[in-house]
Each structure stands twice: as C-alpha cells, then as structure tokens.
Amino acid sequence: MGKKLLTGSGLNQIEGGRVPHFARGVGALLALGVVLIGIYWTGCATGSRSPGPAPVVENVDQLAPAAMRPELPSGKNLDPEYLQSQASYHFSLGQAHSLEGDSDKAIEEYKLALVYDSQSAIVHTRLAGEYVKKGLLTFAIDECKTAVGQDPKYVDARLLLAGLYSSTRLVAEALEQYDEVLKIDPSNSEAFVFKASLLIDEGREQEAINVLNKLLADDPDFFWGYYYLGRAYQKMGKAEPAIKAYRKALALKPSFPQGGLMLGVLLEEQKRPAEAIKVYEELYKNTGDAQAVGRLAQIHIEKEDFEKALKYLTILEQADEDNLNVKVKIGLIHVEKRRFDRAIDTFRAILEKNKDAERVRYYLASVYEELKRYDEAIEEFRKISASSAIHVDALVHIGNLYRLKGDMAKAMATAENGIETDPDSPQIHLFKASLLEEEKRLAQAAEFLEKTRGKFPKDEKVLYYLGSIYDKMNNQEAGIKVMSDLLALNPENVQALNYLGYTYVSRGEKMDLAESYILHAMKLRPGDGYIQDTYGFFLLRNGNVRKATVELEKAYKIKPDEAVIVEHLGDAYLRSNLKRKALEKYQEASKLMVDAKSEPEEIRKIDAKIQELKSALNPPGDAAKAPPRKPAKQ
C-alpha cells in the first residue's frame, strides 16, 4: 500500500492541531464537513458521480422551497448543459459562502444546485457538512444517506456518515461505514485510524490495536497510526508499549504536537520528568508549540526550579500578553524568590486591566503584608468583595494585621463583622477564638468555641482548637474528652492522635493506648517532628533511654526551633549522663522560649534545670581544688 496523502475528511485538519476523533462531537464533525476527501469540482455538480448523463428535473416543487425556485426555460425537455451549468454555478456560490462562514447562504445555494442536479453525491455531502456546522445532525445524516444511496462508492460521504453515527453513539453503524470504506479503498488510512479511535473510546483497545497493526504493516511510515497505537496501549495501562509507539510517531514526524504532548504527559505520569522535559524541549524547538512550553514551565515549578520556569513563562507571556494565568504565575515566582517589588509591579499591571481579579488582589495584599506595609495590605484586602470565595480569608488577614499593629479592638471588630457577614464560615469563628486566647481570656475562648462547636459539630479544626484551649486551661479531662470525640468523628485525625498519645504519656496512664495512637499517627504522617518527639518522649518515659535519644535526635533534626523538642532531647542526654550536652540543649530551649514569648512559668522551669545542671557540673568546692593556672608563655 502506498502512503496515502492526508487530504480532506478531517485528517488535514489534524496537522493544524486537531485530533481526528469524530466521537468527540459536533466540533470534529464540523471539520469533516468543511473539507472532504478528494472532492474536486471539475466544472459541474456531477463531477464525482458515477459516469452518466445528468437527469432531467421533473418536480421542482419537491426539491426547493418556492422562494428559492429558479425560473426554468420553457419547453418540455430541458437542456442538460444548461442544467449542468446552473448546478455548477450554485455549487460554486455555496462553496464561497461556506468559506466565508455563512452556512445559511451556503445551504441555500447547495439546495439550488440540487434543483438542477438532484443526483450529485458531492452536493448532498457538502450540504450535510453545512448542516453539521448548524448542529442539524439529523438532516446531515439524511443527506449523507442520500449521497451513499446515489453513489455507494463515494468514500467521502461514508466517512462523514460514519462520523455522524459515531457522534450520536450509533457505534455499530459507524463501524459498518468504516468497513465499507475499507472495502472500497483498502488503502484508506483515515478509515483505519478513525475506526481505531472509535474502538479505543468504546474500550475495545485490542481490536483497535489489531486494526492499527494491519494499517502499519502496509504503511509503516504513517505516523498517525503509531499515535493511535500509543493511545490504545496507554488506555490499557501499558505504559512502555505506549511510550514506544509515541516515540515512533515522533521519529517519523518530529513536528507532531499531539504525539509530543501525549508522550510528555505519559512520561510525567510515570515519574520520569527528565525525559518529559527532553520531549517538550524538542517539540518546542520543532513546532514552537505553546502547550509544550506550558508543560515545561509547570514541571520546573513543581521541581521548584523557579528561574527555569520563569524563562518558559516569559516565552508564553510574549506570545500572549493577555494570558492572565501566565502573568499570575510570573508574579508568584517573584514572590517565591522574594523579589517583592517585581511581584508588586506584576500584580498591579494585571489589576489595571482586570480590576475584578480578586485572587490577584489577594496576592498583592499578601506581599504588602510580608513587607510590613500593613495599611496598604489592609486597603487591598478590603477591596475583595463579600461575594468572593476568598472574602473570609481576606477578613482574617485584615483582623490579623490590626493585631500586628497592636489594635486588638479593631481586630476583634473585624472578627465580629466577619461572623455577621459570613456566619457559616468556621474560619472566622476560629479567628475570634484566637484573639480571645491571645488576650488570655481562655474561659471566654472555650465558651465561644463550645457555641461554635454547636454550630459546626463535625468541623475537626473547631474540635481540635477547643481541646487545645482546655489543655491550656489545665483542664486536661475536658481536653481529652473533646479530642476523643474528634477521634470518634475521624479515627485518622493525626493531631488528635498525637495530642492524646502525648497527654496519656505525660500523665503516665493508658501507656499501651498511648503507644498505639502515637504509632498510628507516625504511620499517617511520617517525618512529622512533633509526632516524632511524642514517640521519643514515650520511649523516655518507658525507660528505653537509648532508643528515646535516637528518636528525639530525629525530631530535633526536623524541628530544631521547637523549644519543647529541644528540651526533651536535653532530658534524654541527661538520662544518658551526657550532662554537658544536656546543658547545651536546655540553654538552647530557654532561648527559644524567650524569643517565642512563652509562658513565664515554662521559662522558669527550664531555667531551673539549667541552674541545677550547672551546679552539678561545677560544685562550689571544685574551684579550690583546681591546680594553679600557669602563666601564658612570653
């Protein structure tokens, strides 16, 4: 089989970025209806019909509405040459109107062409194509059936009819038409790939593979065949054969956007980003494909290689200055790299053209907040409308900014206002509770959270915060009760598991239950410094000092700035008789507590440990027993 030129019928549309896939609906049918395989008008409307004289039109009323009815010359017998010339004339007008996108006028002219030549399979098929554009699929099917009835070997009509059947889920009928085309023209590559595509969509991947292998056996250089072979294997979950097929398609046609994108995405799914990057880079070099550039940017963002991501985003921005998504990503990269002035300029430029881009305004306000330009941040957050999905987030930021400015009254007023405007948001209720906690009004915070719990009985954050407030009030019984309720609601709430495990260990009770909670939390969230610390604390309390030291050192590596973890590690060193290392960790913990403005009682406790350990390391009488200090050498 010689290589078939891919003209018309939709496959020539593929080269411009369309996958030949009729089952995707009217859009693909439209492509097929506009450009049909091998339709070449040779000066008359009967050009593709089987040879034979043009018929005489005997009943004009049945072929066109009265308003469209032409005036025919008088006489019993009409001149066939006249009929042919009129058919060609109206067909040409129909073509012109179709190219201009005026389907209504094209339909009118094609119908007039049929008045003069009702047996033209080409005209019926072109008319069907215009009906497709209008979404009149039933009419389009009827015209295709007429065309096939008039010329059973007219491949273009059968292909369009198959596509229409496919889009209307008449799968058996569509496959029948593809098979008929292949009987007429066994080398018709389009029929092979369209049939395979439909089979893939129907979950009949192996049948599709058989069809494509038959095609490729005779036409081994047909890159679309390998593309669909890749799709079939990919849908079957066979990644390696799919990758091999896509690579073959790209080897045959390096400037093949669909093949490159499918291969790149599959490699990403297989956790092979380096190979995906190579594919996208080659695709961009060969085609300038914007989607390839977008994937390159996204991969580098996920790898946190922001400078490379910025390079590709800049290419996209230059190609499409109105692409808001690209501009936002550029701004966020500037934020990530702490280039705040450039981020502000980027977000402001977006807002000048898109004043309603509230997410961008949120980012701008957040940058001002980071720069401690609190008034400007508050101003931008206030511009976010009450109907916005991020309105509550904005209110919380506003309240927090007032808190940072030392204006607790305005912070509380913001929280109260948020509760009135967004009463169904747990977040704003939690913020108010946090303000009460900061003002040391723990009893009021607990009372408010109990009411909040009544409103949001299944909100895990509300329950956890309530339990933690009870703990800070030294009401561990109430805290344990709330956390147990939370676990009943969600047995895999890591925070509740860790809290209960730690609390039971510190109380020296239910140690087996505590261990089960802690180990379950570690399994759910491995590498969490707080849970790691709880496990080490459990081991230390159980007397397993050596293992406790190892586990607490792991926790310290994860969270070296958490005072409690540092203190626990000091305890482990002390139990191991490593007094100087213990002293070092206690002093480190004390500094962290002071910097964090911890409770004075906690600071006093750690300082007492420090003093006790210093005394043990340097007893009062030791200085007198020390040998005299030698003078420094001259």
Work out the mean pLDDT of the chain and round it to a whole number. 87
Q: Is 284 part of any domain?
A: no
Distance CA 20, CA 260 (A): 16
Q: Give the residue carrying structure tokens 């409103």.
A: 455
Q: Is 32 part of any domain?
A: yes
Query: Binning pLDDT at 50, 70 and 90, where does residue 45 land?
Result: very low
| Of 99, 48, 72, residue with least CA distance to 109 | 99
What per-residue confidence (pLDDT) applies to 322?
87
What per-residue confidence (pLDDT) applies to 71?
52
What's the mean pLDDT in 18-45?
Answer: 32
Distance CA 537, CA 530 (A): 10
Evaluate whether 117 touches 54 at the Cβ level (below 8 Å).
Answer: yes
Shared-domain flag, residues 20 and 158 = yes
What per-residue confidence (pLDDT) applies to 620?
64
Evaluate whether 329 touches 313 at the Cβ level (below 8 Å).
Answer: yes
Q: Give the residue carrying structure tokens 């550039």.
A: 293
Shared-domain flag, residues 100 and 117 = yes
What are the structure tokens assigned to 185, written together? 């023209």
**In degrees, to the nearest 5, what angle opens at C-alpha 294 toward C-alphas 290 and 297?**
140
Q: Which position has the higher pLDDT, 597 or 11?
A: 597
Shared-domain flag, residues 190 and 246 = no
For the chain, the C-alpha Rg in angstroms (whole number) is 38
Tally of CB atoms within 10 A around 365: 25
Shared-domain flag, residues 188 and 228 = no
Shared-domain flag, residues 62 and 133 = yes
Q: Is 46 part of any domain?
A: yes
Shared-domain flag, residues 16 and 144 = yes
Mapped onto helix, strand or coil, the DSSP state of residue 320 is coil
| Of 141, 151, 210, 221, residue with least CA distance to 180 | 151
pTM: 0.70
Query: Binning pLDDT at 50, 70 and 90, where does residue 281 land?
Result: very high
227: CATH = 1.25.40.10
Evaluate whether 501 touches 538 at the Cβ level (below 8 Å).
Answer: yes
Per-residue model confidence as pLDDT tens digits over 67-105:
344 555 554 466 888 888 999 999 999 999 999 999 999
| Of 115, 93, 91, 111, residue with least CA distance to 102 | 93
| Of 532, 540, 468, 480, residue with least CA distance to 504 | 480
HSE (side-chain half, CA atoms, 13 Å) at 223 = 21
What's the mean pLDDT in 521-545?
Answer: 96
What's the mean pLDDT in 280-300?
Answer: 95
| Of 437, 433, 439, 440, residue with least CA distance to 418 | 433
Total domains, the chain: 2
Helices 529-541 and 563-575: angle between axes, nearest 10 degrees: 30
Helices 442-455 and 426-438: angle between axes, nearest 10 degrees: 170
**In degrees, to the nearest 5, what angle opens at C-alpha 545 toward C-alphas 540 and 547?**
95
Query: Binning pLDDT at 50, 70 and 90, where does residue 597 land?
Result: confident
**Which stretch of DSSP H or E encloses residue 473?**
none
Evaluate whether 273 touches 290 at the Cβ level (below 8 Å).
Answer: no
Shared-domain flag, residues 248 and 115 = no
What per-residue confidence (pLDDT) applies to 14?
25
What count of residues does the chain have? 634
Shared-domain flag, residues 156 and 27 = yes
Query: Binning pLDDT at 50, 70 and 90, where does residue 622 land?
Result: low
Query: Binning pLDDT at 50, 70 and 90, where does residue 43 land?
Result: very low
Q: Say if residue 269 is exposed, middle or buried (CB neighbours under 10 Å; 0-12, 13-18, 19+).
A: exposed
Mapped onto helix, strand or coil, the DSSP state of residue 354 is coil
**pLDDT > 80? residue 55:** no
HSE (side-chain half, CA atoms, 13 Å) at 401 = 25
Q: Give the residue carrying structure tokens 């191991």.
A: 576
Evaluate whether 403 touches 378 at the Cβ level (below 8 Å).
Answer: no
**pLDDT > 70? residue 276:** yes
Residue 76 DSSP label: S
| Of 266, 363, 287, 286, residue with least CA distance to 324 | 363
| Of 369, 360, 372, residue with least CA distance to 397 | 369
Tally of CB atoms within 10 A around 503: 20
What per-residue confidence (pLDDT) applies to 239?
96
Residue where a domain stops, chosen among 237, 253, 269: 253
Domain with 244 in it: 205-253
What's the mean pLDDT in 431-452?
Answer: 97
Evaluate whether 131 touches 107 at the Cβ level (below 8 Å).
Answer: yes
From residue 464, how far is each of 469, 511, 601 by CA, in Å? 9, 22, 24
What's the mean pLDDT in 545-555?
Answer: 97
Shared-domain flag, residues 9 and 122 = yes
Distance CA 467, CA 486 (A): 9
Evaluate whether 147 touches 125 at the Cβ level (below 8 Å).
Answer: yes
Q: Is 219 part of any domain?
A: yes
From residue 81, how far is each of 2, 61, 62, 121 by CA, in Å? 38, 21, 22, 19
Amino acid identity of residue 225, one-letter, is G
Q: Is 131 part of any domain?
A: yes
Q: Is 431 part of any domain?
A: no
Evaluate whether 14 touches 6 at the Cβ level (below 8 Å).
Answer: yes
| Of 166, 158, 101, 150, residue with least CA distance to 130 | 101
**pLDDT > 70? residue 376:** yes
Please, which residues have CB within 8 angstroms of residue 25's CB and are 6 or more apart in sequence? 167
Residue 631 DSSP label: P
From residue 563, how far is each of 57, 300, 502, 614 by CA, in Å? 98, 36, 16, 19
Shared-domain flag, residues 133 and 212 = no
Q: Is 271 part of any domain?
A: no
What per-residue confidence (pLDDT) applies to 252?
96
What's the mean pLDDT in 419-433?
Answer: 96
Shared-domain flag, residues 114 and 182 = yes
What per-residue confidence (pLDDT) applies to 80?
85
Per-residue model confidence as pLDDT tens digits over 342-366:
999 999 999 999 999 999 999 999 9
Query: 592 φ, ψ to 5°?
Result: -60, -40
Q: Is 616 part of any domain?
A: no
Question: For every residue of 502-529, which 3-state class applies, written as one string?
Answer: HHHHHHCCCHHHHHHHHHHHHHHCCCCH
Residue where a domain stops, chosen among 185, 202, 219: 202
Per-residue model confidence as pLDDT tens digits over 112-165:
999 999 999 999 999 999 999 999 999 999 999 999 999 999 999 999 999 999
Shared-domain flag, residues 42 and 131 = yes
